[in-house]
Structure 1
Amino acid sequence: MAEQAEARRYDRVLLKISGEALMGDRGYGLNPPTVERIAREVKSVHDLGVEVCMVIGGGNIFRGLQGSAQGMERTTADYMGMLATVMNALAVQGALEALNIHTRVISAITMNEVAEPYIRRRAVRHLEKKRVCIFAAGTGNPYFTTDTAATLRASEMNCQAIFMGKNGVDGVYDKDPQKHPDAVRFDHVTYDEVLQKHLNVMDASAIALARDNQLPIIVFSLDEPGGFRGILAGEGTFTSVSDR
């Protein structure tokens, strides 16, 4: 028990992952083994007694901005993107429940047959009962990204940090490390530095909301097995975003 308490530096966190994280080596959609691997990562943290909520993007199925750029009306495109996040949330829910983790998919768009509507106090109660809450459909409003939804939900749930699980990147760099071998990784950056240097962490609205609520952001790689649990304990390679 003492070992678990030492490993658990946080009591409640939000894990934000992109829809592309669920693709694996596919170019589109869901790769079941990848979904199962991510579910095992979440389970390893849940087993420590940490209360976990999640926000998952929808870019593996549909991106509102890309649809808009191709001539689709922006509001319609964004709603389609929100529905894609619901599909991903249901996939992760299925993988977690196969591991005997109780979950709730909570949607910002009412669809009672497949998900609970978002009610803050009910969601908090689910977390207190050690259920993993997967927040879907963004904020329920067009023109807002799932980054902003993640920061909003983390603030509403009184999470102690947002963990940004990235594909192929183990933190925040001054430029894209996959295109520039000389890219420099930061151990820590402030919210203002992220905004001023246009670093690829979250969109500006999400960063500003995190800054206003003093909500730390931990950026790490999802590729390393056991990485989420390790990063939670302060081990491994990551970048922290906060005021100090």
Structure 2
Amino acid sequence: MPNIDLNSDLGESFGQWRMGDDAAMLDVVTSANVACGFHAGDPAGILRTVKAAAAKGVAIGAHVAYPDLVGFGRRNLDIADDELTADVIYQIGALQALAQSAGARVTYVKPHGALYNTIAHDRRQAQAVIEALKALDSSLVLVCLAGSPLIGWAREAGLTCVAEAFADRAYTPEGTLVSRKLPGAVLHDATQVGERMLRLVREGVIEAIDGSLARIEADSICVHGDSPGAVEMARALRQHLENAGVMPKAFTEIRA
């Protein structure tokens, strides 16, 4: 039976401001990208998410970001290498401490927002993040955008990488994400999303926005947790995969 990881960004609520439904998403996903306080999340809320993920057997990853609470980590920052490396180490370390207190552990790192998109193609900032993982714990798996140069850079440095696809995003014929600024960039039909992801798992291809087939190698599928109808979309995707004989399973278990 084929397996695929389902991941989602969680732990992003801040004080009285609520983001997404962590409890519901943890019943669907197999890996939780938990905010570390730089783009979202407060310590008490992050700890609750970590405890809930551990209780459900969901893998825990550090969702590290630029220091940008106001912009939710979605603004590009021209940050010095040593500062970025220290920021990433700091965030992972904070989540590791919270996880340890809950009897759990952090097994991977997935950068967030602008940092994720930047290091996918910017070798200087990518190297700063890579150096952070090497300095702290080189056994941590790095989640990367499928088809991006980051995968090669990280593997050259001795890190283990997992390629990620996005369930609700449109792709170009070259296998890159269609800009959110363009029409059709975000998909809302659960049946369409399910069929696309099933074909990705089985054949390694996804229908691009122009109707052609783009080849994408992915070990994990991201389901967004902060958009309208996100939980329903994630549930429908998981059910569609299971009905077709594909069992969602954390990539950390698949690779073990």
TM bucket normalised to smaller: 0.3 to 0.5
Normalized against structure 1, the TM-score is what? 0.41
Normalized against structure 2, the TM-score is what? 0.40
